[in-house]
Amino acid sequence: MKEKYRGIIAIVAVLMIFLAVSAFIRVALATEIPIAAVSSGSMEPTIAKGSLIVVKGVSPEKIKAAPAPEGDIIVYLRAHTVKREILFFTFYNPEPVVHRAVKKVKIGDKWRFLTKGDANLGYDQNPNNPKTWVPEDRVLGKVVLVIPMLAMGFSLLRLPLVWLCYRWL
């Protein structure tokens, strides 16, 4: 009987430690999405599909906007993204975009960013209309670390959890 409870207690303890570490990372990196998997090749060769990225929240004025390879790579949400939070996990539909800030402009008191994937031919927004650029409130942070190919397993483990979140919550 005691063996049965030890297993349950061990699982609960591991889960609690994992949740505490997740919460700490979110606070330390000042973003809701401190670790993410890259699911497309639009940033190749700089960031390969399947890489794991670490994202840090930064103030918009500190984001360097310039063509590759000088501009910061930012993570941002599309205009009508649906967000769901479960414990210390945040899920987005569609997924956030990981592209380079190539230009920025301040309109009123808000920064806006023109973005482009390094492997893409065109910009994500209309380069002639800064009002179509990504507003600062949709920027989740900038990429501070890339770990190539590590996200393959992470993505496979995440798929059932994402499906369950959207199906039942």
Once rounded to an integer, what is the mean pLDDT over residues 91-105? Answer: 96
Q: Which residues pair with 35 in a beta bridge?
A: 54
* pTM of the predicted protein model: 0.84
Give a three-class secondary structure readout of 83-122: EEEECCEEEEECCCEEEEEEEEEEECCEEEEEEECCCCCC
Q: Where are the domains of the chain?
A: 59-140+153-168
Q: Summarize pLDDT for 99-152 with one digit per residue, the tens.
A: 999 999 999 999 999 999 999 999 999 999 999 999 999 999 999 999 998 766
Helix (H, G, I), strand (E, B) or coil at 40: coil
